[in-house]
């Protein structure tokens, strides 16, 4: 799988288009719509094209959240890369062949120093290919509506490993899922690319500072979007439908 990642193209391919079409069709069946703002804030290269970056998306309320980002992502932007459970990815031959070619990075089942090194190495690989790496940086137990969970330092480490900007992304709409739900996704101002190595004392301190900057950027945006969602979507709740995506 890592050999496939090493040859991954940053350009979105036919497989990405098929996945996007299937997701869009599913959203259309239940009348879901996604509105995005702030795409112009994504980091750009000297030719004006979206550059490699780490996208830190919050809050993470359910497994449908990545699809909201997928539908909002520009077609002419680099491919999105994601972390996925290693056990699931290696369960069958077609997963081992297909998922890395869609930008999926395996997460080992057990946490260890070697797993951390593998995460950083995989991040360097896909970011070096020009892809944009998506992470959901929260950790810990569920949080009340309008509030973030604890933000882990991993997103800052990944940005440092690739030497790319860290982009906060706030998403809202999931808490009141029903027919005709409206989702919103807001891209916030990027944090500059780290210049410190993540595996040093100075790097660990800098990663904590960058994580606090990330939290400070996301917290008000998340509170705003989830308050908006309660107003807009609260009249159309279907608890059974939400449970399908919990």
Q: 87: domain CATH number?
A: 3.40.1130
Residues 164/52, Cβ–Cβ less than 8 Å: yes
Break the chain down into helix, strand, coil percent, rounded to 5: 45, 20, 35
CB atoms closer than 10 angstroms to residue 89: 18
- Classify residue 246: in a domain, yes or no: no
Query: In this predicted model, what pLDDT tens digit does every residue of 200-211 receive, in sequence order?
Result: 788 888 999 999
Q: Is the pLDDT of residue 29 over 80?
A: yes
At 58 the pLDDT is 94
Instruction: Answer whether residue 230 is part of any domain.
Output: yes
pTM: 0.87
What is the per-residue pLDDT across 128-159, written as a single tens digit (0 to 9) for each? Answer: 999 999 999 999 888 888 889 999 998 999 99
For the chain, the domain total comes to 1
Whether residue 29 is contained in a domain is answered as yes
First-residue to last-residue Cα distance in the chain: 29
Q: Residue 148: give the domain boundaries.
A: 2-241
Q: pLDDT, tens digit, for every residue of 190-236?
A: 999 988 877 778 888 899 999 999 999 999 999 999 888 888 877 65
CB distance 219 to 226 below 8 Å: no
Structural domain contains residue 87? yes
Q: CA neighbours within 13 Å on the CB side: how many for 2?
A: 12
Q: Which two tokens stand for residue 150?
A: 């604890």
Residue 238 has pLDDT above 80, yes or no: no
Look at residue 193 and tell me if it is in a domain. Answer: yes
Supply the pLDDT for residue 155. Answer: 93
Q: What is the pLDDT of residues 44-76, one digit of tens each?
A: 999 999 999 999 999 988 777 888 999 999 999
**pLDDT tens, residue by residue, 118-129:** 778 888 889 999
Looking at residue 30, what DSSP letter applies?
Answer: T
């Amino acid at each position: 799988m890592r050999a496939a990642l090493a040859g991954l193209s940053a350009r979105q391919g036919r497989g990405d288009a098929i996945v996007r079409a299937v997701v869009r069709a599913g959203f259309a069946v239940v009348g879901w719509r996604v509105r995005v703002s702030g795409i112009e804030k994504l980091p750009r290269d000297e030719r004006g094209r979206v550059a490699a970056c780490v996208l830190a998306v919050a809050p993470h309320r359910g497994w449908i959240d990545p699809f909201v980002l997928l539908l909002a992502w520009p077609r002419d932007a680099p491919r999105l890369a994601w972390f996925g459970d290693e056990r699931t990815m290696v369960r069958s031959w077609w997963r081992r062949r297909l998922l890395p070619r869609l930008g999926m990075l395996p997460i080992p089942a057990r946490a260890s120093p070697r797993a951390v090194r593998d995460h950083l190495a995989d991040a360097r690989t896909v970011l070096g290919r020009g892809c944009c790496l998506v992470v959901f940086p929260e950790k810990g137990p569920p949080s009340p509506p309008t509030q973030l969970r604890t933000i882990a330092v991993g997103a800052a480490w990944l940005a440092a490993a690739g030497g790319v900007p860290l982009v906060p992304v706030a998403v809202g709409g999931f808490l009141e899922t029903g027919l005709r739900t409206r989702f919103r996704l807001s891209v916030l101002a990027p944090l500059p690319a780290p210049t410190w190595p993540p595996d040093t004392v100075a790097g660990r301190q800098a990663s904590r500072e960058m994580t606090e900057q990330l939290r400070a950027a996301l917290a008000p945006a998340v509170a705003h979007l989830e308050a908006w969602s309660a107003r807009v979507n609260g009249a159309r709740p279907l608890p059974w439908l939400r449970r399908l995506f919990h």
